[in-house]
């Protein structure tokens, strides 16, 4: 009898907790429903606000496909609650166009609170209006055509040495981790001009990796939270090294604290970009014809000016048209950044719904690429030919269908450098080494917090003797 009473009591408690959670979730949803702009007759977008305080953040972190299901269920504009704020998620070229061209009028850039806390208020990412224009003008010198041309020999030499190092590893190389560290070294030593010992560079790379992994997290400075892991102190070693290093980048001058982090944020994204095209080159998806798989390598080998030339230039890279198509297609399928964040400056209409003033808006790069209807082949397939001559003819019409680096006044300032690194990496990869997957199949790709293969992409590398002399150049 007593055991039955205990069971009844436990059941009663469970039912009460379930009822309490249900009421709390209903009140949470009602709270945001009532926050709509009553001066606007349009309804709020459809969607779910998740659980009190957490919203759908936990679902997003462990199951990013939930946002994909949200698009399938609610359409290209739907509401949710992520990282502590109500958010309207937007996709589709026309909707993205409205946001990107409405900067300073309809919307203003505002990234999640965790990103603002970790990066500070004096970065390019957090600047708005005139401060943003001034900081972008300063950084533009670092990414000018002349500056990029001067980086090319050192970047190419660094890539060769790295590939040779991979060939010397007795087992498989975790390409994802290795390319992240490689891109950090390129950013620190070549872009910023820092003189770092290998141990210092590796330690800072780990710190920076932790920063990137927790850039988008709940804004809670509590033990074991993502924010606490990197809040004290993020990348201070870089600033100290920058002050100690003579002959650093003159373009940056004494404004280290205000412009140091922004170049490194795209650099981290660049490490993901580098991993993604590495994935595409290393193991194209099953079913691809052998001729298509080898096209980038064949293009390099057929071009006398490129083959084993230790000093490629931007002009020479520009002649590799098919390689350019491959890079574009990889960035279309796996954009390194999932989207951009804005805050509504006023209530406005988007696709028949109201976007209330003060709400966050996120435009999805990945969803926009996946739903673009301008391509001749299905958007879910890997087809570099979609960026061939036919694309060039209709490029203006596809301006907001293809946005791997964002768009408008806040487009990625380092996109030319990122694409140059990707092309150099692909060229050195196909003419310097051969490779084999260490796993039976190509790894699945995760997109949270940023694009990455689930197993790190385990690959064996072997040197090609025909170009071995270049590595020791």
Annotated binding site: 412
Q: What secondary structure does DSSP assign to 387-413, as a single string?
A: GSHHHHHTTTTTTTT--TT--GGGS-T
Report the DSSP pairing between strands 458-463 and 433-437: antiparallel
Q: How far is CA 369 from CA 87, 308, 335, in A?
A: 20, 35, 9
What gap in Å lies between CA 365 and CA 451, rounded to an integer? 12
Annotated binding site for heme: 412
* Ramachandran sector of residue 224 (left: φ over 0; alpha: ψ -120 to 50; beta: rest): left
Q: 108 is written with which tokens?
A: 């203003």
Contact status, residue 178 vs residue 186, Cβ threshold 8 Å = no
3-state secondary structure of 5: helix
φ, ψ for residue 89, nearest 5 deg: -95, 130
What gap in Å lies between CA 370 and CA 373, rounded to an integer? 9
What gap in Å lies between CA 423 and CA 331, rounded to an integer? 12
Contact status, residue 264 vs residue 235, Cβ threshold 8 Å = yes
E strands, 24-130, are 77-82, 85-90, 107-109
Q: How far is CA 77 from CA 43, 267, 359, in A?
A: 12, 30, 13
Compute the radius of gyration of the chain from its Cα atoms: 24
Cβ contacts of 365 within 8 Å, gap of 6 or more: 335, 337, 338, 339, 340, 403, 404, 406
Nearest to 209 by CA among 456, 438, 38: 456
Q: Which residues pair with 453 in a beta bridge?
A: 445
Q: How many CA atoms lie within 13 A of 386 on its CB side?
A: 24
Cβ contacts of 115 within 8 Å, gap of 6 or more: 125, 215, 216
Query: Tokens 């009591």 map to which residue?
Result: 9
Query: Tokens 């991993």 map to which residue?
Result: 275
Q: How far is CA 80 from CA 26, 45, 333, 401, in A?
A: 14, 9, 24, 24
Contact status, residue 344 vs residue 359, Cβ threshold 8 Å = yes
Query: Tokens 């409405």 map to which residue?
Result: 102
């Amino acid at each position: 009898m007593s055991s039955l009473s205990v069971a009844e009591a436990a059941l009663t408690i469970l039912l009460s907790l379930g009822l309490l959670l249900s009421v709390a979730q209903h009140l949470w949803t009602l709270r945001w429903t009532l926050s709509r702009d009553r001066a606007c007759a349009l309804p709020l977008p459809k969607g779910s606000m998740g659980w009190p305080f957490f919203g759908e953040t936990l679902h997003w972190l462990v199951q990013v496909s939930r946002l994909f299901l949200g698009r399938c269920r609610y359409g290209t504009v739907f509401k949710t609650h992520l990282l502590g704020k109500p958010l309207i998620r937007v996709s589709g070229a026309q909707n993205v166009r409205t946001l990107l061209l409405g900067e300073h009028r309809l919307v203003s850039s505002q990234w999640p609170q965790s990103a603002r806390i970790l990066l500070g208020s004096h970065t390019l990412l957090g600047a708005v209006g005139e401060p943003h224009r001034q900081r972008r003008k300063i950084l533009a010198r670092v990414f000018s055509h002349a500056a990029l041309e001067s980086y090319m020999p050192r970047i190419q030499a660094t890539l060769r040495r790295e590939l040779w190092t991979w060939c010397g590893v007795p087992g498989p190389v975790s390409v994802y981790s290795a390319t992240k560290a490689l891109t950090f070294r390129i950013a620190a030593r070549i872009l910023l001009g820092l003189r770092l010992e290998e141990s210092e560079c590796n330690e800072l790379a780990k710190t920076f990796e932790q920063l990137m992994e927790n850039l988008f997290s709940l804004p809670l400075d509590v033990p074991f939270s993502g924010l606490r892991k990197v809040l004290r102190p993020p990348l201070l070693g870089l600033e100290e090294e920058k002050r100690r290093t003579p002959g650093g980048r003159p373009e940056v001058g004494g404004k280290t604290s205000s412009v140091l982090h922004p170049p490194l944020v795209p650099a981290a994204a660049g490490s993901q970009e580098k991993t993604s095209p590495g994935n595409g080159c290393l193991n194209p998806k099953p079913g691809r014809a052998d001729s298509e798989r080898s096209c980038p390598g064949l293009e390099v080998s057929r071009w006398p000016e490129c083959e084993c030339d230790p000093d490629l230039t931007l002009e020479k890279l520009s002649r590799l048209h098919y390689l350019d198509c491959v890079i574009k297609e990889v960035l279309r399928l796996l954009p390194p950044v999932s989207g951009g964040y804005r805050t509504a400056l006023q209530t406005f209409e988007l696709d028949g719904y109201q976007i209330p003033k003060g709400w966050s808006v996120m435009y999805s790069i990945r969803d926009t690429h996946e739903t673009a209807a301008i391509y001749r082949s299905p958007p879910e397939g890997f087809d570099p030919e979609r960026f061939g001559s036919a694309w060039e003819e209709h490029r203006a019409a596809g301006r907001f269908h293809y946005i791997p680096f964002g768009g408008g006044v806040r487009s990625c300032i380092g996109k030319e450098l990122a694409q140059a690194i990707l092309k150099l990496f692909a060229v050195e990869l196909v003419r310097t080494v051969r490779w084999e997957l260490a796993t039976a199949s190509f790894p699945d790709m995760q997109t949270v917090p940023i694009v990455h293969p689930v197993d790190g992409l385990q690959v064996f590398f072997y040197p090609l003797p025909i170009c071995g002399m270049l590595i020791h150049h």
